[in-house]
Amino acid sequence: MLEPTSEMIGNSGYYGCTLEQGDSLAAICLYYGYGDWRSIYCLPANQAFRQAYPDPLRIQVSLTNNPRFYVPIPTGSSGQQAIISLGQLETYCRQIEALERAVSDTRTLVTYIRKLYYTGGGWDLIIPRASSINMPASIRNRPDIALTLTYLTENQDLSADGRFVDIGHFFAGLDAKNYQQRLELGPSIWGITISVIRLRSNVEVATWVEDLGSVVVEYYNETPCSGRPRGRRSFRDMAMVRDDTALRACYNNWASGADMRGNIDACVFPFNASQRLSQQFRSYYITNQDPRRQRFVQFRQQLNMSNSDSWKNPVKTEVFNGAIAYAGGTGRRLDVINIYSDPGPGILVPTFWEAYNNITGWVVDMFVNRMMSATF
């Protein structure tokens, strides 16, 4: 939306907005506090706009015919200049405000938004106490809320300080933080006989531990992101020889910078259940830059992180267990069976357990090196 200004049409004040490609009427109306964008679209002031765009859900901005879209100015503020930069973060925050008009409990709202991005049986195991919290159809099917949910769903990667944040990872971690607990995942999950997997924190599983576990599994299975055709290396080389190029490619794909910033933001975000979520979101991502720009410093301090075996070894155990859980949850059941059929290092040839264990160590080393040098 290009620099809206206030205008008088008849005896009423309006914000006149020139659309850019990708703008939606729902987002613009929500920015000004109106949940029902269709009634704004049908106003007499928008007759020329309706003629240019008879289908408001398919707006293709024309350089030759792009009439302004008018939004009523609330009583008492007409005639004031309104030069506003409607950025992606602010637009997203306005969608949260729209939901707050229908949902009063902040923790519940976090769960609702998280489930737009990550939901299903696996997530019910990670955050079991939120498994039964679902948005009622009476709210979800309201026209204004439906548009808001569509916008949130379609905008998962947000740009903050010129770097992307996967906001789905942020809400996944924040929801887990609201319902913290240790996890025990057992054979009933995958229908195979294995030992119970114990993980110390569902917040870690919902954020960085499971992302690192996914890197382990995808590297082991030589997914296309590694840049290497499957089966090119021998099993022994896979298990015993670190391929930095392939490992880096898998890490960048499955634990990307946007993913990690979302994960870490969830861990350091100063959540307060008694305050509005939009207020806290704006303070962290839009208004106050210091906490956000210090995210990695705060994260390292929170975990007391150090590049030492005494710190990395317990983390390696968590990531190894997270990798097994990820393998089972993504259909790699043979990986799980092989690991548990012959645990421990081999004598003459490496075991499947040894391959997973070694790869986990390499991934944790890369994680610590990146976290220790990360800025924002």
**DSSP per position, 294-333:** THHHHHHHHHT--SSHHHHHHHHHHHHHHHHHHHHHTT-H
Residue that the structure tokens 């024309």 belong to: 62
In a 3-state reduction of DSSP, which class is residue 347? coil
What value does the mean pLDDT take over residues 98-113?
96
Query: Between the ranges 35-39, 81-85, 289-293, where is the mean pLDDT highest?
Result: 35-39
What share of residues in the chain are helix, strand, coil (percent, to 5)?
55, 10, 35
> Is the pLDDT reported for residue 233 higher than 70?
yes
- Looking at every residue in the chain, the average pLDDT score rounds to 87
- The secondary element (H helix, E strand) that includes residue 12 is strand 12-18
> Is the pLDDT reported for residue 189 higher than 70?
no
| Residue 84, pLDDT score | 40
Residue 62 CA: distances (Å) to CA of 18, 19, 67, 102, 158: 11, 10, 9, 35, 26
Q: Which of 90, 80, 92 is nearest to 16 (CA)?
A: 80
Of 328 and 87, the one with more pLDDT: 328
Asked whether 359 and 281 are in contact (CB, 8 A), the reply is no
> What confidence tens digit (pLDDT) does each residue in 112-168 have?
999 999 998 789 999 999 999 999 999 999 888 988 999 899 999 998 887 899 999
